[in-house]
Structure 1
Amino acid sequence: MFTGIVTAIGTITQVQQRGDLRLTIACPFDPAEIDIGASIACSGVCLTVVDRGGTKGDAHFVVDVSAETTSCTAKRMWREGAKLNLEPSLRLGDELGGHIVTGHVDAVGRVADWQPEGDSMRLTIAAPANLAPFIAPKGSITINGVSLTVNSVQDRDDGTVQFGLNIIPHTADVTTLGELAQDAEVNLEVDTIARYLHRMQALRAG
């Protein structure tokens, strides 16, 4: 379990195509605090550490990424040199600074518009129709592993949805969101509470 509060940006330094993809990700963590078998969210994708090394502040960890995961996440994110938002899993007693995040990507969205707004960046994200019931103004959503608040929602005639949110300068600086460009693909995870409420309502209606 995660909170959507990114603690570091990592860089994929090696990609090996085995049965699955094996990635080596450089990060500023302390390798002594990275446990084998631990979960780390990588741009919103929960992955299991299978190896680690390096020194404090100049560490790396290794993960395996299945074909199922690569097929359900943003294209080009699993290439050498790609930067990833990193968040170790929540520990008992940690502050829940964002919202409850599972690290399971629900869909891939697209940056439909990108505009400066004051000191912030206003993003409009296009999402598929199956996510429309879960996205609401002032609700929470995870974009590439970052917990954000939805500002506006526009349902489209084809059933898809576009929603707007603001990226403040701090968030742009400490995550990869400041580097998003027009039409870029992003990993989306809807709020867990919204998912369960939708399920309950569907059962009652059925």
Structure 2
Amino acid sequence: MFTGIIETVGTLSALTRQGDDLTLTVHAPGLDFSDVKLGDSIATNGVCLTVVSLGDHSYSADVSLETLQRTRFADAKVGMRVNLEKALLPTTRLGGHLVSGHVDGIGEVKSRSASGRAIEYWIAAPEALSRYITEKGSIAVDGISLTVNAVEGNLFRLTIVPHTAHETTIAEWKPGFKVHLEVDQIARYLERLMQGRAAETGSTLTMEKLARSGFL
């Protein structure tokens, strides 16, 4: 589990194809490796990866075919910058929100504009994910815990303050840029729970029923 609060930005320093999957190496001099060991999880651009080897300020991780099919790592290149976060501890401050590191889909940056000192982005989510995205709710974008400030169909708006832009890869986002999306876990589990209840009672889950139950 992660919080979506990025610890540092690393760089892909090596990519080794292993048949249908690959092993990537991330150089991250800004990450504290003192408590990292083999088998630990590190969220890499929002993707939970398992450390299989450690180097000098770096780690390597295997990326399965399943992960390649669901993320941008299929098109990764050496030099790509990635947001990094080690798995949370029981004593970690939950400054963002609960993030699993399991990417739900790929979004696309549609626009970027200045809003005072902040930057506003509109991002298009896959239609299948749009129902989980709500105004003032949380979403992880490339591993970053962010607040949704507006929703229009499958589009949602983010307002990025200078500190967040400086400490992450957000400054690289331009129209057309693809990003990893992970929706709020509570929304997914709630939907599954309601579907199970609907199956037991023979009823169907609707937005009206969610509203009546106080979830919207």
Same fold per superposition (TM over 0.5): yes
Q: Which blocks of at least 5 consecutive residues in structure 1 are unaligned?
A: 156-160
Q: Which of the residues 158, 167, 171 maps onto 2:164?
A: 171
Aligned sequence identity (%): 45
Cα deviation code 1:16-65 (max 9, x no counterpart) = 111321111100224332210000000000000001121xxxx0001111
Based on CA coordinates, which of the two structures has the bigger radius of gyration? 2
Cα deviation code 1:121-178 (max 9, x no counterpart) = 10001011111110000000000000000000011xxxxx000011110000000011
Letter in 1 for 2:170: L
Structure 2 match to 1:32: 34
Structure 1 match to 2:10: 10
For 1:30 and 1:172, the matched residues in 2 are separated by: 21
For 1:87 and 1:146, the matched residues in 2 are separated by: 9
For 1:98 and 1:180, the matched residues in 2 are separated by: 21
For 1:102 and 1:77, the matched residues in 2 are separated by: 23
Structure 2 match to 1:66: 64
RMSD of the alignment, in Å?
Answer: 1.3
Structure 2 match to 1:127: 125
Q: Which of the residues 45, 48, 65 maps onto 1:46?
A: 48
For 2:73 and 2:157, the matched residues in 1 are separated by: 22
Conserved? CA contact 2:138–2:184, under 8 Å: yes
Conserved? CA contact 1:171–1:178, under 8 Å: no
Give secondary structure in 2 for the equivalent of 1:35.
Answer: coil
State TM-score, norm by structure 2: 0.88
Letter in 2 for 1:10: G
Conserved? CA contact 2:9–2:28, under 8 Å: yes
Structure 1 match to 2:195: 202
For 1:5 and 1:174, the matched residues in 2 are separated by: 10
For 2:127 and 2:78, the matched residues in 1 are separated by: 32
The runs of at least 4 consecutive aligned structure 1 residues that moved more than 3 Å come to: none
Task: Count residues with an aligned counterpart.
Answer: 197
Letter in 2 for 1:108: I
Give secondary structure in 2 for the equivalent of 1:10.
Answer: strand
Cα deviation for residue 196 of structure 1 reads: 1.1
Conserved? CA contact 1:133–1:198, under 8 Å: no
Letter in 2 for 1:16: T
Conserved? CA contact 1:154–1:163, under 8 Å: yes
